[in-house]
Copies of this chain bind each other. A is one copy, B any other.
Amino acid sequence: MATSANQSRIGVPCLACPLRLKPAFKDKTDDEVRFIQAMKMEHRLLPAGADIIQPGQEDAALYTLFSGWAFRYKSLPDGRRQILNFLLPGDLVGLQASLLSAAQHGIEALTEVELCAFPRKRVWDLFVRMPSLSYEIAWLGSREESLIDENLTSVGQRNAAERIAALLISLHRRADALGLVSENSFRFPLSQQQLADALGLSLVHTSKTWAKLRRAGLFSVSGGRLTLLNPRLTARMVSLFERELEPRPLI
């Protein structure tokens, strides 16, 4: 769970970053990309379950998630844990931790992950020298907050089935924007316990509700992949107003 098996290696140069080509991301000028590349400290590879940022850590770096999934969480002293949000490729990892003096949360790799690491100290530098990038960092921070707002609303107002549906829809749309969905099917690496911690439900009730929705034909799971059998219906369950997924910055 806590092993920090960081295996440094040379990553792809940012100018040739395959992530950057996806339509989910806004274009950057060559200047901006060169700045990002110069700022990049290392390319880290971590196994599933590794701690990316520890709660209370004071020297956390800033990362961009290059591949894999991760999640932010907060624990109470008695062991209860809330998963705050999930991180998918292209998301900033540890912005809050790198701006505030100490991390108020933990971040853990959900699958094997690749991270582009930027030294904490150079974030200030970026704000001074690259206003366009600093604006986009603030934008990405606001976008993350917006996702957490959605989760809080789910946990505070929706029942178990609605919460599951809302989470699936949200993950489906985010994965889709990254081109990770084919025929409504995408990799789904969450354990039931992690699901429960994200939904604010007990493990048992999560499992039962999950099974019920599966039997009701909402989705199917096989080989670590999840298929939404009727995305429209699922979306209607949580009465989403469909928000545009506009291209976002990639730092």
Give the interface size class of chain A.
35 or more
How many copies of the chain does the oligomer comprise? 2
Residue contact B134 to A81, C-beta cutoff 8 Å: no
Mostly helix, strand, loop or mixed at chain A's interface?
helix
Chain B residue numbers with a CB within 8 Å of A77 are: 239, 241
Interface-central residue, A105, A131, A145, A246, by most chain B CB under 10 Å = A145
Please report which residues of chain A, range 127-151, place their CB below 8 angstroms from some CB of chain B when the two chains form the complex.
127-128, 131-132, 134-135, 137-139, 141-146, 148-151
Determine if A101 is an interface residue (Cβ-Cβ < 8 Å).
Answer: yes
Measured CB to CB, the nearest residue on chain B to A130 is: B131
Residue contact B124 to A81, C-beta cutoff 8 Å: no
Chain B residue numbers with a CB within 8 Å of A246 are: 101
Chain B residue numbers with a CB within 8 Å of A148 are: 145, 148-149, 152
Residue contact A143 to B76, C-beta cutoff 8 Å: no
- Contact bitstring A209-251, B, C-beta under 8 A = 1, else 0: 0000000000000000000000000000001010110100000
Chain B residue numbers with a CB within 8 Å of A132 are: 127
Chain B residue numbers with a CB within 8 Å of A134 are: 127, 131, 134-135, 138
Residue contact A153 to B96, C-beta cutoff 8 Å: no
CA distance A84 to B246 in the complex (A): 24
Of B81, B101, B146, B153, the residue contacting A157 (CB under 8 A) is B81
The answer to whether residues A131 and B142 also contact, given A150-B74, A152-B84 and a CB cut-off of 8 A, is no
Residue contact B142 to A95, C-beta cutoff 8 Å: yes
Measured CB to CB, the nearest residue on chain B to A102 is: B243
Determine if A161 is an interface residue (Cβ-Cβ < 8 Å).
Answer: no
